[in-house]
Amino acid sequence: MEREICIPTLTKSEVLVESPIDRVKAVAEPDRISAKLRVKITVVSDYLFVGSGRIRYTYLEDAVKRYGGEELYRNPVLLKGVEEFKEFYRAEGRPAIPGSTLKGAVRSRIELASHGPQTVATFSYGGDTVLNSLPPKGFHGWRHARIWCESIFEVRSIDRFKGYSVLENLLGYAGRGAQAIGSRVYFGTLLGTSVKLDNLVLDHNEKLEAAVKGSVFEGEIVVLGLSSAELGLLLYGLSQDKLLCKREPLMLLGASKYRCRTVVSKGGVKAEFGVVKVEIESIEPAPWCKETLNQLLGASSVSKVIKEFVEKALETYPGLRKCFDEVERKRLIEPCRV
């Protein structure tokens, strides 16, 4: 009999509401933080796939050189051996993770890891209905429902006449039912600095180009006019709260992150996708707020400073579950290794 990770309970939750912060004035306020975070992402799972929407053709260049375009057009049989693979995202000619992908993962983690009578976020794609039971194993969304069991059974209400959720005030709001507001956090593209790609044939005959375990991507996140608690909330979304419990800051990212895949091209082995370690290598203050940030940071190490900001967020915002480990839950629900 399957052991459930949690017992689903339908509950109600009130979303904390704030007035929209003036994006221009906030940057100039002396007690607010504007800075650049240097971020390093390392692939911890067997593979990571972040698609570009494009197709790469293996051996096609060799075939064109050997036979010429006209001959290949007249005799398609010569294209035997040319395969189509979904391309890994690229920027500046290098494998990369777009900032929008990381931002989506951060937003989702804050939405789904928070739980309680009051929360900092509504659901961006919540729909009009709430689950009343866990989907049976094998049905659509059964893994997702078990990983985020407590939060997805919450009915979250927000009063749009009063303002925006804490998360919307931080990362922006597209304007469904209220005026759109911009983000105060800007996620740059993370370029591959040490990446090995492999062409894989998976179950359901899906063919893709994936970054293998140990691949490294680096980039920047720029924050403008954040309070200490807001910066801590961003770091929470980057799984840095796990440092408080002496765990690795692992998070889920990219395609197939919730399920094991069978790699047909590797003899049918089961493989894990979409688990990465996120490290904040430095926090560099903007010139106009160096004094403010130096007062907060002192001579502390980056890791100690990160913990202090996360602790501030946990103190300020109700509903943030300290050290919630979605990766551990995913592996308990469906281990990719026996």
Length of the chain: 338
Residue 264: domain span: 11-50+89-333
Closest to 258 (Cα-Cα) out of 135, 173, 174:
135
Strand partners, 121: none
Tracing tokens 């991507």 back to the chain, one arrives at 217
In this prediction the pTM is: 0.90
Q: Is residue 64 part of a domain?
A: no
d(CA 184, CA 251): 22
Q: Is residue 118 part of a domain?
A: yes
d(CA 164, CA 181): 9
**Segments in the chain below pLDDT 70:** 1-4, 57-83, 124-130, 177, 292, 296-299, 338
Q: Is residue 4 part of a domain?
A: no
Tell me, rounded to whole angstroms, the distance of Cα 49 from its chain centroid. Answer: 13
Q: Is residue 63 part of a domain?
A: no
Q: Is residue 82 part of a domain?
A: no
Q: Is residue 329 part of a domain?
A: yes
Q: Is residue 104 part of a domain?
A: yes
Q: Is residue 97 part of a domain?
A: yes
pLDDT in the model for residue 178: 72
d(CA 187, CA 284): 15
Write phi, then psi, for 287 (nearest 5 degrees). -55, -35
pLDDT in the model for residue 179: 86
pLDDT in the model for residue 299: 58
Domain tally, the chain: 1
pLDDT in the model for residue 311: 96
Task: Say how many C-beta atoms besides its own lie within 10 A of residue 33's C-beta.
Answer: 23
